[in-house]
């Protein structure tokens, strides 16, 4: 059996854009559990009190599914993990020459081995189960690597992790290393943590499983340091295709991808395997005719298994440039979820209805001068993409319009002229307080409603 430990909430936090709040972390962890992840790796609690609380919240949210938190081979780090209530600690330490030069100048190999023994033993005394990782395993001398793992196992580490920290190995090399470890560390579970710097993480993960690795570390959308690590959805779908691990609920993979992409402001591209917008999109005439007769002609998996649908229409902008010019239409705000009719007419300037494949939505609302603007016409909502509010008053210099804007937990008074940038994944709304003018809303999605992230449970 192959087990998946998803590290979006740890490795993903080390990516260029991954910064998950406590609430977002709980949401992601809950979806990961529902989609079949066997263990959740979350955070490095020794960083600060905020990180410790985030990990503790995830531990509470996922119930019986075990949570593992990261720790250096240091007592303070390990004790911080114990405070979160996590069942597992992932202790890591590099022992090769590169690690000794870059981080641990003056430490001998014997001293590093002692730290492994002491840290694993300390964790066990605290009641923690231990996964021990040799950082930069792929560039560590095989004999020194096995010695480090043997010391950890002797101190009662239950799992060892081989980390291709730089993503430099190829599938045959990974298979050789895992076979070597299986022979020398028999009886101990082996995990692999594989970076994607060369674009080989998924291939390497499958090779590792074939060679006998029992656990694979993944991340939603492959999110992680630099080029990231093994992609969760792609790996899970490939195991299903192999017939070695069925998908418990493949319908959640796209939703997970969408939410993690929004919260990290790093959406996967349209051709990303399994979750990309275009992976079940056929446009070549021969392909379209073939899949309509026999879907497996050009599909490796049934789209419905992943809550996807097949598409055979050719997308693209209209060829005639005059079709890119829009005559704005007055449309009721009630066509949008979380909206009610408010003051003034609402002109839709562009969306995919008026310019196919524009992939942008923009409206202008004329706000008249009123004695009472009411409680507001839009409830707080969240988009999976970035968006923008613009407020322009009728007075000279666009002054004269006062509004209150909600951004996350904050309510901010805003005076025109002003624009408010709204990152993807951030709850937002606005309410007119006084004055008259024009309000613009620009969203980087061609269909407003499909860009909304509903509260967890309402549409997943």
CA distances from 47 to 16, 165, 205, 428 (A): 18, 21, 29, 29
Rounded to whole angstroms, how far apart are CA atoms 40 and 61?
Answer: 11
- Which positions ≥6 away from 346 have C-beta within 8 Å? 330, 331, 332, 333, 363, 364, 365
Burial class (CB within 10 angstroms; exposed 0-12, middle 13-18, buried 19+) of 375: exposed
Measured at the alpha carbon of residue 314, what is the angle toward residues 311 and 317, in degrees to the nearest 5? 130
Residue of 74, 107, 184, 287 marked catalytic: 287
Rounded to whole angstroms, how far apart are CA atoms 81 and 84?
Answer: 5
What DSSP element (H or E) covers 252?
helix 252-264
CA distances from 34 to 37, 57, 256, 343, 345 (A): 8, 17, 10, 42, 43
Tokens of 269: 């591209």
- Which positions ≥6 away from 255 have C-beta within 8 Å? 31, 307, 460
Told to judge if 287 belongs to the known catalytic residues of this protein, a careful annotator would answer yes
Helices 109-125 and 142-154: crossing angle in degrees, nearest 10, is 30
Rounded to whole angstroms, how far apart are CA atoms 195 and 335?
Answer: 44
What backbone torsions phi and psi does residue 244 show, to the nearest 5 degrees? -100, -15
Beta bridge partners of 229: 195
**Cis status, amide bond into 417, omega within 30 of 0:** yes
Rounded to whole angstroms, how far apart are CA atoms 90 and 372?
Answer: 58
The full length of the chain comes to: 460
Strands lying side by side in the sheet with 437-443: 329-330, 346-350, 361-367, 437-443, 387-393, 418-422
Rounded to whole angstroms, how far apart are CA atoms 68 and 87?
Answer: 6
For β-strands 346-350 and 361-367, DSSP reports them as antiparallel
Measured at the alpha carbon of residue 22, what is the angle toward residues 21 and 25, in degrees to the nearest 5? 85
The conformational region for residue 221 under phi > 0 = left, psi -120 to 50 = alpha, else beta, is: left
Residues forming the active site: 287
């Amino acid at each position: 059996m192959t087990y998946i430990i998803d590290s979006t909430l740890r490795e993903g936090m080390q990516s260029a854009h991954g910064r998950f709040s406590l609430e977002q972390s709980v949401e992601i962890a809950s979806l990961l559990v529902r989609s079949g992840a066997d263990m959740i790796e979350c955070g490095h609690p020794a960083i600060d009190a905020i990180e410790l609380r985030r990990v503790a919240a995830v531990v509470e949210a996922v119930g019986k599914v075990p949570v593992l938190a990261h720790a250096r081979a240091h007592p303070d780090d390990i004790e911080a993990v114990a405070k979160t209530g996590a069942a597992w600690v992932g202790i890591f330490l590099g022992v090769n020459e590169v690690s000794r030069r870059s981080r641990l100048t003056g430490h001998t190999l014997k001293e590093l081995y002692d730290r492994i023994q002491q840290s694993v033993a300390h964790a066990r005394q605290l009641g923690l189960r231990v996964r021990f990782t040799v950082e930069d395993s792929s560039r560590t001398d095989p004999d020194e690597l096995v010695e480090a793992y043997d010391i950890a196992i002797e101190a009662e580490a239950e799992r060892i992790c081989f980390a291709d920290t730089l993503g430099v190995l190829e599938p045959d090399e990974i298979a050789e290393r895992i076979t070597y470890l299986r022979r020398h560390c028999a009886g101990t579970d082996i995990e692999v943590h594989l970076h994607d710097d060369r674009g080989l993480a998924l291939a390497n993960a499958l090779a590792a499983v074939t060679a006998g690795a029992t656990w694979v570390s993944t991340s939603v959308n492959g999110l992680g340091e630099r080029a990231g690590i093994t992609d969760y959805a792609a790996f899970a779908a490939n195991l299903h295709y192999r017939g070695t691990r069925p998908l418990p609920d493949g319908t959640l993979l796209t939703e997970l991808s969408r939410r993690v992409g929004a919260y990290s402001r790093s959406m996967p591209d349209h051709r990303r395997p399994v979750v990309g917008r275009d992976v079940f999109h056929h446009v070549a005439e021969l392909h379209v005719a073939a899949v309509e007769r026999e879907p497996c002609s050009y599909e490796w998996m049934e789209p419905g298994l992943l809550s996807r649908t097949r598409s055979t229409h050719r997308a693209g902008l209209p060829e005639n440039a005059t079709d890119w010019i829009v005559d704005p239409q007055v449309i009721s705000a009630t066509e949008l979820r979380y909206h009610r009719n408010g003051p003034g007419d609402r002109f839709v300037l562009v969306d995919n209805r008026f310019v196919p494949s524009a992939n942008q939505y923009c409206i202008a609302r004329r706000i008249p001068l009123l004695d009472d603007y009411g409680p507001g016409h839009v409830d707080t909502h969240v988009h999976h993409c970035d968006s923008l509010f613009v407020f322009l008053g009728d007075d000279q210099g666009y002054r004269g319009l006062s509004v209150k804007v909600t951004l996350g937990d904050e309510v901010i008074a805003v005076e025109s002229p002003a624009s408010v940038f709204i990152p993807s994944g951030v709850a937002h709304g606005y309410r007119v307080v006084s004055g008259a003018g024009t309000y613009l809303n620009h969203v980087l999605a061609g269909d407003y409603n499909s860009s909304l992230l509903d509260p967890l449970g309402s549409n997943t």
